Amino acid sequence: MPCGVQVDGCKYFIRAWDEDDHAVILKFNHHVRVVIEDLLMQFWSLPGAEEALGDIGRVDWLDSRTLERGHTKTFACWLWVWDVAHIPTRRALWVMKRDIGRSDEIVGIALDDRRVPPLPSARRYDMLIHVDLLED
């Protein structure tokens, strides 16, 4: 129960902080199977699918035909989404080599021959996303 404090005739109610005070709570109402064309094999896992799809929804599980890996053209997984309209039909995936564009430096020690890291470059892979099945 919030307690009150009175200052200059105005009463202020104080309550404990909660991490959800400023959150909007959405329900993921739709369970959707999406099929992705041209997803790189290194992303064929739950964490990889989460990274490739970004903030589209929450990856629930990989479809059985994906786990069989009979072919590598299409990847299928099930997502929880709050609005099917927010699933894009095309998405670009940018892949960089590990530690590219970073230089090694010891904090607090100035190096005489400060090396500039090599210019970063990335490979872009275009993926097509199809909504295959929808469960309400």
Strand spans (E) along 49-121: 58-62, 74-81, 90-96
pTM of the model: 0.67
Contacts of 52 (CB under 8 A, 6+ apart): 36, 39, 43, 91, 93, 127
Contacts of 119 (CB under 8 A, 6+ apart): 101
Confidence of residue 118 (pLDDT cuts 50, 70, 90): low
* Structure confidence at residue 135 (pLDDT): 85
What confidence tens digit (pLDDT) does each residue in 61-90 have? 998 877 776 777 889 999 999 889 989 999
Structure tokens at 70: 């009979």
**Domain ranges within the chain, ordered by starting residue:** 26-83+90-95+119-136
Helix, strand, or coil (residue 85):
helix
